[in-house]
Structure 1
Amino acid sequence: MNCFVGVDVGTTNIKALAMPPDLSQILAHASAPVTTLNPEPGYAEQDPAEIWAAFVEVIAEVNREVAQGGHVITHVAFCTAMHSLLPMNDDGSPIGNAILWSDNRAEEQAKALRTTQAELGKSIYAQTGTPIHPMIPLCKLAWLRENDPRLLRRTARFGSIKEFLWHKLTGQFEVDFSIATATGLFNESKRAWSEPALNYAGVRADQLSTPVPTTFQRSYQPGSETAGTGLPAGVSLVIGASDGCLANLGAGAIKTGTATLTIGTSGAIRQTVRKPLRDAELRLFCYFLDEGYYVVGGPTNNGGNVLEWLTEKLTLQDTDAVLAEAATIAPGSDGLLFLPYLQGERAPLWDASARGGYLNVDWQHTRAHFVRAALEGVLFNLLSINELLIDHTGPARVIHANGGFAQSDLWVQMLADMAGVPVRLNASNESGSMGAILLTMKAIGMVKTLDEAAEKVAFGHTFQPDLNRHTVYRKEFVKWQEGQKMLYVDGGRTK
């Protein structure tokens, strides 16, 4: 039996999922971790050699499992994290490490495009749909131009982690429209690199990959470097899209009124729309998924990393113990509030220098209060992003939840209670890989539209909101917003 593989290249793990064309079962699954390096404060990098080794390991394992079951891989599609930047030679060999989305070294360059060069920043945002922030390659390249011009001159090619992997497999420098729209360098309406953005960044169009549709395919031909994957010649490689866009597709969140909320290490809330949207204050992204499908929303730096902080720094307990402790406290944490900006913030503040903190601390609050308030703060922040989204898309009638947090019934129920709408889980939590597989079905003509593809998504449990808890949370959310506004808008860093 033939099967499709969706590969999810994240910044924590590389994962792959194999399924038959009818999506009736998971035939194989594999995962391998990738280490993030922090050579200096604010830096976040990964070794491309480690990324490639993890990718080969994962594909080889899935290929073995599939073969043992008597199946054959016919298509491999890619879902990858956004905003990475890798300097390469003309043969695709890396010159240095990949700079990740979470790298904040370009804070001053991003600040300039929001202040002293605000008109240029607004013009670039209008073309690209990418908010101005240190995360985007546009600002990373500007940082190199100002701080490491020698590397800029030495580099023949700049690309993302996906482009590095794609070149290894195909020998071609190509990038899908979805990853391209997340660079801050791509004119989405013209489907070409933006001249103002290139001039600001200090690079030429011929140093970047050729943009192609997300359904673009190439036939795989094994070579000495790729033999370890075990993939046979002739497998169709589908270039795919970004992780945020494919998380929406893989969650079945394509129709109007359906939002997707993802919390992994970071987080995001998104809706799928039929035409590009722009926010007048540059607070929301709008990324390409497929012709007639765009994903609009806002990302947060602070999601599962807050839970990690609770376990490793605050309580010195494992995750299950921390979540159990949070469950002992009533919704609203007896007035204790938490601003979750432990690693700066993207939406809604777009302020890399923002930092977190507790508000309204008093004598009655215990460690368990601090734990619950932190979990609530992550969701309050995402719902504040959702309020910006509602102004453009209208309210969501249901939220599809995925990412690591979806494994915690407590945290997901908090979301339903706060939002006041049902929160639905997928049968599989691998929404990125699933989205890549569904995009493959569109690429090869098994379905005509992504709406038709999304109908094939299977769902698990739906969490219904408790209206009494919702009332409590609405009052606390107003207080949370007042605290956020006081510290970060009216008198704070983002003004």
Structure 2
Amino acid sequence: MSDAEPDTTGAGLLLGIDLGTGSSKAVLARADGTVVTSAVVPRPNSVVMARPGWAEVDPVGVWWADVVRLCRELLPQAAGSPVVGVCVSGVGPCLVLCDETDTPVRPAILYGIDTRATAEIDELTDRFGADAVLARGGTALSTQAVGPKALWVQRHEPEVWGRAARWYNSSSFVVRRLTGEYVLDHHTASQCDPAYDLAAQDWYRPWYDDVFALPAPRLAWPAEVIGAVTPVAAEQTGLPAGTPVCAGTVDAWAEAFSAGVRQPGEVMLMYGSTMFFVAVAEPQQLAGARDPLLWTTAGVEPGTLTRAAGMSTSGSLTGWVADLVGGVPFEQLVAEASQVPPGSDGLLLLPYFAGERTPVFDPQARGVVAGLHLRHTRAHLFRAVYEGIGFGIRQILELLDAPAGTVSRLVAVGGGTKGSLWTQIVSDITGREQTVPEQAIGASYGDALLAAIGTGLVPAATDWAVPGRTVTPSAASREVYDGLADRYAALYPATRDIVHHLAGLQESGAG
């Protein structure tokens, strides 16, 4: 946390809050983008995985509690300046079911890392037609979609569903508690497949009513002011009653916004617990180019479209290795891995330890480590994790290159960019430069900018991003990785039937 600095602009401060997978973060910023102060609530064990394929969070005990704690921690450091706008982003898309009093009736079901609704994905795809779903919503149904998860609750927890009166994403749940408004932003709605019509930018009511059968939240763009802090929320958080609140959005899109990824051809690559990609696209280029391996969604700004992709594990895998070897400082593992040559001395890893989203969309995929030898060490395994993720990134960037234009700029963000080894390996494997922004706060900084735009303090085209260092690929390493890329691509189809059988054994043993 930084010491608070006085607001010399006289415009007041913008509060951005982001609810991440492993932590929540908040920032107070001036209208010129200067950060006054920030705070983080770490919570590495907040995601509950009670069964294989499940990923849940307590919306009140985690997300709302984090918001209250962050507000109580930051507001006294505002140096006498008023907070004049609030915006919240969060993991998503999620399914938070609440009763008439907005009390959650069950834990929130998380985004694509929760893979329970495979049967419902197949059912809805058959019901509406794969081509029709892709054409209307821009995205094939997968574990990322909210609709199949809603249907799963109806099928498996009918008593719970019977108590549900409204549903939310992580950010819209907090917005409801802050303002009393039942609103969802257009971007998040466009990931609630198959309920949203991308061309009409509205709910497609025949499919919405069929799948959700609950009142539909009002739609708004992420920077749009949708309400104000209520007296009850003010008492809990310390925010002044009447403070404007924007709609907010999914964290990855807020982070892309913070990093200045706003023009067609620009791609944000987010290094986090999972790896996520957001690419801005020309709407006219996507008219007839919906790729079922990518998610075509509404963007952050009105009239924009994005294509996105996500891997199910990335930083969580490096944490797994660290836990496995026990007691070794993370920095030491990185240092040891940096001494291992490219290719990890013949070790190749598929990073599908929690199933996989892009590019295989297989919730029963599992991790594979090929080529293990007695001479391999923990350093080899650690580097092989970085390289396995890098090969997955290479496959996804190749998808983003076509057919709707090429990747013109790659902006790397997230906690994994703080060191140099991981980003260097990714550039070496992909052969692409990466720009790492100077300001590394993340989605909460994008939220503050959205609040500044939504409250009219700055023009809509304002960009706070400042380019930092550039990661340039090594030609020598690239040659090694080019020789392994085809082997990596062959490893999944060669082992798929075996790991599916093993995944079935894991699930049958879950009780």
TM-score, structure 2 normalization: 0.88
8 Å CA contact retained: 2:234, 2:241: no
Q: Which residue of 1 aligns with 2:208?
A: 198
Matched, 1:228 2:233: no
Give deviations 1:231-283, integer Å, cap 9, x for gaps.
11332211122212222111112223332111211111221123173765511
**Corresponding residue to 1:161 among 160, 164, 170:** 170
1:322/1:192 Cα in 2 relative to 1: closer, same or farther (>3 Å)? Answer: same
Matched, 1:187 2:197: yes
Give deviations 1:439-473, integer Å, cap 9, x for gaps.
23432445544xx323x311222122222212222
8 Å CA contact retained: 2:364, 2:499: no
**Corresponding residue to 1:146 among 141, 155, 164:** 155
8 Å CA contact retained: 2:264, 2:282: no
**Corresponding residue to 2:422 among 394, 397, 411:** 411
Q: Which residue of 2 aligns with 1:15?
A: 25
Which amino acid is 1:378 matched to? I
Q: Which residue of 1 aligns with 2:438?
A: 427
**Corresponding residue to 2:252 among 240, 244, 251:** 244
Matched, 1:60 2:72: yes
Which amino acid is 1:390 matched to? D
**Corresponding residue to 2:470 among 462, 465, 477:** 462
1:199/1:75 Cα in 2 relative to 1: closer, same or farther (>3 Å)? Answer: closer
Secondary structure of the 2:352 match is: coil
Which amino acid is 1:330 matched to? P
8 Å CA contact retained: 1:16, 1:433: yes
8 Å CA contact retained: 1:441, 1:453: no
1:467/1:216 Cα in 2 relative to 1: closer, same or farther (>3 Å)? Answer: same
1:100/1:8 Cα in 2 relative to 1: closer, same or farther (>3 Å)? Answer: same
Give deviations 1:116-142, integer Å, cap 9, x for gaps.
x17524322322234422332201111
Matched, 1:215 2:212: no
Instruction: Give, in whole Å, the separation in 2 of the partners of 1:163 and 1:59.
Output: 17
**Corresponding residue to 1:42 among 53, 57, 63:** 53
Structure 1 segments unaligned to the other structure (5+ residues): none
1:180/1:385 Cα in 2 relative to 1: closer, same or farther (>3 Å)? Answer: same
Which amino acid is 1:386 matched to? L
- Percent of paired sites with the same residue: 25
Give deviations 1:59-99, integer Å, cap 9, x for gaps.
22121111xx2322111112221121111112322222111
Matched, 1:82 2:92: yes
CA apart distance, 1:304? 0.5
Matched, 1:379 2:408: no
Q: Which residue of 1 aligns with 2:137?
A: 128
8 Å CA contact retained: 1:267, 1:301: yes
Which amino acid is 1:440 matched to? A
**Corresponding residue to 2:310 among 290, 293, 299:** 299
8 Å CA contact retained: 2:429, 2:481: yes
The CA RMSD over aligned residues, in Å, is: 2.4
Q: Which residue of 1 aligns with 2:105?
A: 95
Give deviations 1:468-493, integer Å, cap 9, x for gaps.
21222222222211223433499989
1:226/1:445 Cα in 2 relative to 1: closer, same or farther (>3 Å)? Answer: closer
Instruction: Give, in whole Å, the separation in 2 of the partners of 1:240 and 1:47.
Output: 20
Q: Which residue of 2 aligns with 1:330?
A: 341
Instruction: Give, in whole Å, the separation in 2 of the partners of 1:334 and 1:118.
Output: 49
Instruction: Give, in whole Å, the separation in 2 of the partners of 1:72 and 1:226.
Output: 14
Instruction: Give, in whole Å, the separation in 2 of the partners of 1:302 and 1:294.
Output: 25
Q: Which residue of 1 aligns with 2:450?
A: 439
Instruction: Give, in whole Å, the separation in 2 of the partners of 1:338 and 1:366.
Output: 14
Secondary structure of the 1:381 match is: helix
1:132/1:490 Cα in 2 relative to 1: closer, same or farther (>3 Å)? Answer: farther
8 Å CA contact retained: 2:297, 2:305: yes
Paired residue total = 483
Matched, 1:368 2:376: no
Structure 2 segments unaligned to the other structure (5+ residues): 1-6, 502-511
Give deviations 1:159-182, integer Å, cap 9, x for gaps.
222222111111111111111111
Instruction: Give, in whole Å, the separation in 1 of the partners of 2:265 and 2:186.
Output: 25
Q: Which residue of 1 aligns with 2:186?
A: 177
Instruction: Give, in whole Å, the separation in 2 of the partners of 1:376 and 1:393.
Output: 27
Instruction: Give, in whole Å, the separation in 1 of the partners of 2:51 and 2:475.
Output: 47
Which amino acid is 2:69 matched to? E
8 Å CA contact retained: 1:269, 1:382: no
Instruction: Give, in whole Å, the separation in 1 of the partners of 2:282 and 2:442.
Output: 21
